[in-house]
Amino acid sequence: MAEEFLVVEDLKTWFPIRSGLLQRTSGYVKAVDGVDLTLRRGETYGLVGESGSGKTTLGKSVLRLIEPTSGTVVLDGTDVTKASKRELKKLRRRMQMIFQDPYASLDPRETVGATLSEPMRIHHIVSSRNEALKQSKELLLRVGLNEEHLFRFPHEFSGGQRQRIAVARALAVDPDFIVLDEPTSFLDVSVQAQVLDLLKTLQKELGLTYVFISHNLSVVHYMSNRVGVMYLGKLVEDAPREVLYKSPEHPYTYFLMSAIPVPDPEFKKETKLLTGDVPSPVNIPPGCRFHPRCPYVTDRCKTGEVPYYVGKGPHHNVVCHYNIDFERNMQTPRPEPIVAKPMAS
Amino acid sequence: MAFKEPPILEAKDVTVNFRTYRGEVKALDKVDLQLYKREVLALVGESGCGKSVTALTILGLLPQNAYVLGGEILFKDQDLLKISADKMRQVRANDIAAIFQDPMTFLDPVLSVGVQLKEAFQVQKDLSFGSDDNAVGAITDFLLKRNEGREDGRKLLSGRERDRLATDLSKKILELVRIPDSGRVLKQYPHELSGGMRQRCLIAMALARRPSIIVADEITTALDVTVQAQILTLLKEIRDSIDASTMLITHDLSVAAETADRIAVMYAGNVVEVATTKELFRNPLHPYTQLLMKCIPDVREPVEHLESIKGSVPDLIDPPSGCRFHPRCPSAIAICRQRKPVLKDVGNGHLVHCHLY
Amino acid sequence: MKTLARRAETVAWESETKARIAELKYAFYLIRQNPLVLSGLVLVVFFISLSLIATLLVNPVDAVKLDFARSYCWDSRLYSWTPQEASCPTGTNYILGTDGFGRDLLSMIILAIPLDLSIALVVVAIATAIGVLLGSVAGWVGGKFDEAVLRVTDIFLSFPSMVLALVFAALFGHTIQTLTFAVVLVWWPTYVRLTRGQVLGEKEKPYVDALKNLGASPARIVLFHIIPNSIYPVIVQMSLDIGGVILNFSALIFLGFSPSPTLPELGNLAADGINRVFTAPWLIVFPGLTILVIALAFNFVGDGVRDILDPRLRR
């Protein structure tokens, strides 16, 4: 347990819906509705899910960019959720984020040098402009750019280069932990490969811990050690990478895996199609959140929270009442869970 | 899908430039492409390769600052690059349909889906469909599966009958694209539908005029993976019933692998390789294709390190001499810098644009 | 020398210089490309220079020298107004004719330009300052403060602009200062609205999140990032408003709130001409034209300035 670098416990982030003349709260958008996960130092936790799953909100809540409604986040022993403003500012140096849209995550009016120097100035890491420029130059070289780029504006760069600048900016404060929210979704495949490799190299060199959020299952597979699947605000399955991809146990995970297009036309894929559309977190179904779309649904699934069951793999948590044989379409109920909380890796 | 037949659309030597403040962007450089009957051809490439520009050129929808330097696009005995704007509009209405990436921008937000779909059908008074080309009988038979209204060839319809016919056709076509509860959906507005539904509506609108070619530009890029799987499966299913050729433009080779019969790979304004899907994956010949395949993380084979292509996409204002890929090509030889290669057929309809062959 | 040497030691000095030169070159390119901006720039420079040397060209004493014998006369060889021709006494050379007090119209216009320009610039500057400050805070903070600001802005905007200014002038007298303030009252709400709209949009962007994540305080984010990124429509509005303010001010004076009937101010001069459109048309034509040209010049320049400053619009 001492190895646990990041521990998230029952994290909930709800957004009130206000309506009516008096702006009464008529309900909540339960974007993140009780998530537990743990991560070891130096590893990557892959978070997958579709739109509405809450994965981006989870990433932001862990960093307190969005204030969580309840629950705790403990980073290397420090409780992030309870930190005061001043403590939080110091904590921010340790945890950073890379955003999805390279075109909007840099201030378009600032030169790259200014963008990189600013965090250094905020945290008083440097004492002069010269020093800031020197360190910024080092950062740029580290991400594969060069000195000339210091004085150019973001719009002069390609998407891949901008993401590198974003990485450099995150590194400027010397963090331990980075949340990457779809960092390569907007990039071309070859550029994506470069950026992903850069991220992996940096992780090894600097001992960074990542939470990698993406809807692209192949990319998550490449980057992660452990993967969690989110659906409507909760983690429905959480396991080491190979276990999740090769032997998924939750039906939603299974559908996700079979939907991944594979770059091989001769691969006979059993494409099980999921019916219906991705739901929104405004009206969460009672009982198991997935039950309206699940072909294996039974009455038991429609009421009551589903606890964490133990899956077959090591450190494998599944939120489903049934053991399902997807090939033969058979299901058997699982024995009651022994532990109330998910097992860490 | 046969190669013995002539292609229904053939682009030869198409060259398109864009005028920008920094100079002329040589977006398409002697592009050759053939689209055969009833096939799905995927046009694959990264940003800046010219795949969207190719689509826009075929559709006649290039922006103001673009101009065609040369080449021809043959379709039904016409050269689409030389016909008048009016004729091109007719072609777009009846023969070549387009579906683009963002359904929200292509659906009018203040009109219900039903109104827009009915508009696509444009039922005329005398039961033609707004053009003399699209035969009355074909659509009516196919969609309504009945032969009313065809006595003596034409029957004059009143306004209400026309509207009812359009509504029926709309409902049928929504069912064709697997939208449940079509009657209710017709009354809904675009923002009330999910991304997948909107994309299906666009597909329905594209199919309304029974086109011979559908150009689909990155239609699944903005969708979630399960929805993308649904749309791709839908495309495969309807392909047989609608008798049209599809040009599927995508940056995702895996999507192409799943859906296409043939794949054309583009790089920096050139078509660099064309082959049937199976052949392309079994035996990729062009170095760019080979590298591209290595870049993609494959779930079945975890690797420690992804290959990438060194360098970056060239600036098309001043593209590299000779073969545009040579600065990044691991197998480049002297001639690659001096002369542009020619698209060569190495057998089985497998074409490569490379000096190595 | 010491600073130069130290400069050369600065990290990446060459890159920085190269980049700065490239920026300047691009700015000049844009100006060259756009003949409107260029002409606007030329005119603005012209007007500003004229304002600075106005007292050298025209003896201000002349402004007060009234000579009713020469009022409303036109003697210029350049053009003859028919049928009503009032010739000036011989020996005079009034290129643009005279006004009601017998003063040379051209000199009056030359004296009026600095007055009008400075008032316009002052009004726009104050309105912008209030507007941007209030608007950005309201947009950023939201909630009840935002609501309050919006309501106040709405109240001001719901008055027809002239009525507001008139009431103020009537209440507080008509010196140049009070008139200036009256005009400010009319123009500031637009800037609040503009800025607030931009701020609302900017604050949702990922780079703001990134800044928050990096530990930047809200004040820092608003001052150094959000306001600079929201300023472009404000700049365009400012350039449009210069002309509008002059008109507004002139209108006030025209309606009778003039500090003094002999004040050399474009509106004042034109006001006199309204009643004599057919007998002395030059009195309204030339001051009016001057207002028009000033407004256009700033308008063109405003466009160009935005294009140069906004990195997002480039290339």
Q: What is the pLDDT of residues A233-268, one digit of tens each?
A: 999 999 999 899 888 999 999 988 888 888 888 776
What's the number of CA atoms in the CB half-sphere (13 Å) around residue C81? 22
Residue C112 and residue C269 in contact, taking contact as beta carbons nearer than 8 Å: yes
Q: What is the pLDDT of residues A158-209, one digit of tens each?
A: 888 899 999 999 999 999 999 999 998 888 888 898 899 999 999 999 999 9
Mutation target vs B (from A230, A264, A280, A293; most B CBs, 10 A cutoff): A264
Q: Which residue of C has its CA nearest to A117?
A: C214
Q: Which residue of B has its CA nearest to A255?
A: B226
Q: What is the pLDDT of residues A108-157, one digit of tens each?
A: 888 898 999 999 988 888 888 888 888 898 899 989 888 888 888 888 88
Contact partners for chain B, using 3 or more CB pairs closer than 8 A, are A, C
Distance from CA of A224 to the nearest CA of B (A): 11
Distance from CA of B21 to the nearest CA of C (A): 7
If we measure between CA atoms, which residue out of B244, B287, B218, B222 comes closest to residue B54?
Answer: B218
Q: What is the pTM of this model?
A: 0.81
Report which DSSP code applies to C73. Answer: -
- 8 Å CB contact of A264 and B293: no
pLDDT-based confidence at A305, cuts 50/70/90? confident
- 8 Å CB contact of C209 and A97: yes
In whole angstroms, give the CA distance from residue B302 to residue B309.
Answer: 19
Whether the link from the prior residue into C83 is cis, omega within 30° of 0, is yes
Asked if the C-beta of B251 comes within 8 angstroms of chain A's C-beta atoms, the answer is yes
- 8 Å CB contact of A155 and C220: no
CB-nearest partner of A92 from C9, C15, C213? C213
What's the pLDDT score for residue C197?
A: 92
Mutation target vs C (from A87, A100, A109; most C CBs, 10 A cutoff): A109
In whole angstroms, give the CA distance from residue B280 to residue B302.
Answer: 22
DSSP strand pairing (A330-333 vs B96-99): unpaired
- 8 Å CB contact of A218 and B299: yes
DSSP of A45-106? EEEE--TTS-HHHHHHHHTTSS--SEEEEEETTEESTT--HHHHHHHTTTEEEE-S-TTTSS
Contact partners for chain A, using 3 or more CB pairs closer than 8 A, are B, C
Q: Which residue of B has its CA nearest to C33?
A: B21
In whole angstroms, give the CA distance from residue A195 to residue A170.
Answer: 14
Interface of B with C (CB under 8 A): 21-22
Cα-to-chain-centroid distance, residue C91? 39
Asked if the C-beta of B46 comes within 8 angstroms of chain A's C-beta atoms, the answer is yes
CB-nearest partner of B224 from A215, A242, A261? A215
Count chain A–chain C contacts defined by CB atoms under 8 A: 94
What's the pLDDT score for residue C151?
A: 93
In whole angstroms, give the CA distance from residue B252 to residue B45.
Answer: 8
What's the pLDDT score for residue C314?
A: 59
- 8 Å CB contact of A256 and B197: no
Asked if the C-beta of C15 comes within 8 angstroms of chain A's C-beta atoms, the answer is yes
* Residue B267 CB-density burial (10 A; 0-12 exposed, 13-18 middle, 19+ buried): buried
Q: What is the pLDDT tens value at each position of chain C, 315 positions in all?
A: 555 555 555 666 777 788 788 778 877 777 777 788 888 888 989 988 888 887 777 666 665 666 665 566 665 555 665 544 566 665 566 667 777 777 778 888 888 888 888 888 999 999 999 999 999 999 999 888 999 999 999 998 888 877 887 888 788 877 888 888 888 888 899 999 999 999 999 998 989 999 998 888 899 999 999 998 888 888 888 888 887 888 788 778 877 777 777 778 888 888 777 777 777 777 888 888 888 898 888 888 887 777 777 766 654
CB-nearest partner of B297 from A219, A259, A261? A219
- Chain B hits for C33, CB-CB cut-off 8 Å, are 21
CB-nearest partner of C215 from A89, A134, A153? A89
Partner A, chain B 169-208, Cβ-Cβ below 8 Å: 194-197
In whole angstroms, give the CA distance from residue C174 to residue B153.
Answer: 84
Mutation target vs C (from B21, B25, B65, B317; most C CBs, 10 A cutoff): B21
In whole angstroms, give the CA distance from residue A301 to residue A294.
Answer: 10
- 8 Å CB contact of A151 and C20: yes
% residues pLDDT > 70 (chain B):
89
% residues pLDDT > 70 (chain A):
94
Residue A217 and residue A185 in contact, taking contact as beta carbons nearer than 8 Å: no
Phi-psi region of B125 (alpha: psi -120 to 50; beta: other; left: phi over 0): alpha
Asked if the C-beta of A256 comes within 8 angstroms of chain B's C-beta atoms, the answer is yes
What's the pLDDT score for residue A58?
A: 94
Q: Which residue of C has its CA nearest to B21?
A: C315
Q: What is the pLDDT of residues A55-102, one digit of tens each?
A: 999 999 999 999 999 999 999 888 999 888 888 988 889 999 999 888
Q: What CATH class is the domain C22-314?
A: mainly alpha
Distance from CA of B99 to the nearest CA of A (A): 20
The ranges of chain B with pLDDT < 70 are 1-4, 123-158
* Residue C87 CB-density burial (10 A; 0-12 exposed, 13-18 middle, 19+ buried): exposed
Is the pLDDT at A24 greater than 80? The verdict is no
- Chain A hits for B296, CB-CB cut-off 8 Å, are 189, 218, 263
What's the pLDDT score for residue B26?
A: 92
In whole angstroms, give the CA distance from residue C269 to residue C254.
Answer: 9
- 8 Å CB contact of A262 and B298: yes
In whole angstroms, give the CA distance from residue C32 to residue B182.
Answer: 58
Q: Which residue of B has its CA nearest to C315?
A: B21
Q: What is the pLDDT of residues B332-349, one digit of tens each?
A: 888 888 888 888 888 888
Q: Which residue of C has its CA nearest to B20?
A: C315
The helix (run of H) or strand (run of E) holding residue C291 is helix C282-309
